[in-house]
A = this chain, B = another copy of it.
């Protein structure tokens, strides 16, 4: 023992975990749940949220935190539908980190909400590695992306508590076998619920909303 003081530099990931833990306490105190939507660019996350705006009215009080590298386009789309929304800009980073999410949460009227939905930066890899204090990650995969993505990007599908397959209205025009895609999901995460939805036709939407409302209700008991 030299008696000297040793400086400790905490790594970024450690700091992220601390902010995530603070967020969990904040959400628990307010009885609000947070869902972290993760999917590729163009997988239909914002359109899914647009489809939820009208259908959830009177059933679930939710706000959205929109994560993007640049632009406020997605927040503007939801704001136009009357959804309470804030835009989180990463300034180049490929994922959201817990500190930024925490700051945005503190500005939300949590008492008036059941669920906060975070739309992460469009990316199937990095966002799955960062805990932002959410109660559930949800993987969003467009059927146009092909059947093999759960095998090629397994971390997200392993971490997700639900998978939403979007743009199913396009299936008649694609060379994609949804049953095979479901088998791939099952292979990396047995038992995870999978919802096939089309935000345009509304098909399959109800089962996904029921899952989300059940997730929201779990905080109110």
A residues near B, CB below 8 A? 40-42, 68-71, 73-74, 92-94, 121-126, 142, 144-146, 148-149, 151-155, 167, 170, 173-175, 200
Contact = CB atoms under 8 A, between A and B. Distances in A.
Contacts of A125: 69, 92-94, 121, 123, 126
Nearest to A94: B125
Nearest to A155: B92
Chain A facing B: main interface SS: loop
Which of A146, A155, A167 has the most chain B CB atoms closer than 10 A to its own CB? A146
Number of copies: 2
Given A144-B170, A173-B173, A151 B70 contact: yes
B40 A152 contact: no
A42 B123 contact: no
Contact of A41 (B73, B124, B167): B124
B94 A41 contact: no
Contacts of A69: 125, 152-155
A81 to B, nearest CB: 16
A83 B200 CA distance: 40
A181 to B, nearest CB: 11
A41 B170 contact: no
Contacts of A40: 40-42, 122, 145
A123 B39 CA distance: 11
A142 B42 contact: yes
